[in-house]
Amino acid sequence: MEYKAVLHLCIQFLFIWLTVLKAQALGDGEGGWSSRSGDRLHDEGPCNIDIVDGSSLSHHQFIEQYAYTRPVILRGLTDNTKFRLLCSKTNLLEEYGNRKVRLSTANTYSYRKVDVPFQEYVDFLLKPQSLDTLGSDTLYFFGDNNFTEWHSLFDHYKSPPYVLPRTTGAYSFGIAGSGTGVPFHWHGPGYSEVIYGRKRWFLYPPEKEPHFHPNRTTLSWVKETYPYLPEEEAPLECTIRPGEVLYFPDRWWHATLNLDTSVFISTFLG
- In total, the chain counts a number of residues equal to 270
Overall pTM surpassing 0.75 (yes/no): yes
Going from N- to C-terminal start, the domains of the chain cover: 50-269
Which tens digits make up the pLDDT trace of 62-90?
999 999 999 999 999 999 999 999 999 99
For the chain, strand residue ranges (E) read: 51-53, 72-75, 100-105, 113-117, 139-142, 169-176, 190-196, 199-204, 236-240, 244-248, 253-258, 262-269
Say whether 223 sits in a helix, a strand or coil: helix
Alpha helices, DSSP H, located in 155-261 = 218-224
Report the distance separating Cα 24 and Cα 32, nearest Å. Answer: 10
Domain 50-269 has CATH 2.60.120.650: yes
Which tens digits make up the pLDDT trace of 167-217?
999 999 999 999 999 999 999 999 999 999 999 999 999 999 999 998 899
Q: How far apart are the two ends of the chain, measured CA to CA in Å?
A: 41
- φ and ψ of 85, to 5 deg: -65, -40
